[in-house]
Amino acid sequence: MERIYRKYIDRNYKDQSLDMITKAKSIMDEYMNQNLTITLRQLYYQFVARDMLPESWKDKETGSANNQGSYDKLGDLIKNARMTGDLAWNGMEDRTRPSHDHNSWETPADIMADTVKAFATPKWDDMPMQPEIWVEKDALSGIIEIPADQYQVPWMAAKGYMSKDAMWKASQRIINRFDRNGQDTVIIYLGDHDPSGLDMIRDIRNQLDVFMDGCEALPQVVPIALTMQQIRDYNPPPNPTKTTDSRANKYMKRYGKESWELDALNPSYLVSLIRDSIEMYMPDDTWSEKIAHDNKGKAFLEKAAMDLKENWSNSIGDNF
């Protein structure tokens, strides 16, 4: 991935800040090399996990550098470093403020060329199981959509507890899929390991029970992250459990006073985890056959686009 640096202001940094900027650049480069773009929160958790935050940022009461003040300080530093041209503008993104535009094309041949890129045949309709990827946080959408788009799997960011409207629409989609071709659905779910994060799995199952009462299409809900095994294996930085959460007491009796956020896991690991989970429901050779079929269709469209471009140029030219 190409790095885009633009300098808009001048600023002198102290040695500690320069060191932090160098470390941030190293982490961002690591992910850009994998065509991944991370959020500020994911970058912050990488600093915490790698013990890169300054000693001076530690909270006096807890002795931990993992605190809101550290997050705010790192955010200010990253913002300034991008403005001074020291960090790439396209190495990080704010997924909470998407922009929306409208497509347009100079000629019919141009839209045909884009159609070639977008052409894809249905991959899952003849499979016994259709996976869907659901993630608790919208901030992780950019990570989730990489494997979901690769395998043409539906995905959704729940943004916390699912609304009744979203759950009803999901239930109707699942029922229609079953009625259309007898296909079952599995929901591959990712969320935080904290009182509300774990309770959301129960809530999803309960709401589906209500909206799909007695229906054979009732899907499996398979949580793949964040699990205690992953916490033991990858040691993501913990957070104090929010005691104001009504589910906190039950959670702390089982897991203790610490909780963990999904964002703290390495984004490349999450991509691989989701890919592996999807591949459980379609053999590699079956997927390869479907991609080969797509490529034949794209080759046909490419020829049609070239013919259209030539015909358009001959008959209309620049008078359109």
Write down the pLDDT at residue 102.
Answer: 83
Write down the pLDDT at residue 97.
Answer: 72
- The mean pLDDT value for 33-40 works out to 88
When pLDDT is cut at 50, 70 and 90, the band that residue 214 belongs to is confident
Residue 111 makes CB contacts below 8 A (sequence gap 6+) with 105
Tens of pLDDT, residues 174-194:
999 999 989 999 999 999 999
Write down the pLDDT at residue 261.
Answer: 93
Task: Out of 136-140, 211-215, 269-273, give the one with best mean pLDDT.
Answer: 269-273
- The mean pLDDT value for 140-161 works out to 92
Task: Provide the residue ranges of all domains of the chain, joining segments of one domain with +.
Answer: 15-91, 124-281
160, with CB counted inside 10 A (0-12, 13-18, 19+), is: middle
When pLDDT is cut at 50, 70 and 90, the band that residue 28 belongs to is very high
pTM: predicted TM-score of the whole model, two decimal places: 0.81
- The mean pLDDT value for 258-284 works out to 93
Write down the pLDDT at residue 318.
Answer: 53
Write down the pLDDT at residue 19.
Answer: 96
When pLDDT is cut at 50, 70 and 90, the band that residue 270 belongs to is very high
pLDDT for residue 235 is more than 60? yes
> What is the percent of the chain where pLDDT is above 70?
98
Extended strands (E) in the chain: 129-135, 155-157, 184-190, 220-225, 239-240, 258-259
Residue 200 makes CB contacts below 8 A (sequence gap 6+) with 136, 158, 160, 161, 162, 191
Q: What's the mean pLDDT when you consider all of the chain?
A: 91
- The mean pLDDT value for 245-266 works out to 94
When pLDDT is cut at 50, 70 and 90, the band that residue 198 belongs to is very high
* Residues facing 130 on adjacent strands: 185
Write down the pLDDT at residue 319.
Answer: 53
Distance, in Å, from the CA atom of 124 to the CA atom of 277, rounded to the nearest integer, reads 15
Write down the pLDDT at residue 91.
Answer: 92
Write down the pLDDT at residue 317.
Answer: 54
* Helix, coil or strand: residue 58: coil
Task: Output Rg (C-alpha) for the chain, integer angstroms.
Answer: 24
pLDDT for residue 212 is more than 60? yes
For domain 124-281, is the CATH number 3.40.1360.10? yes
Write down the pLDDT at residue 284.
Answer: 87
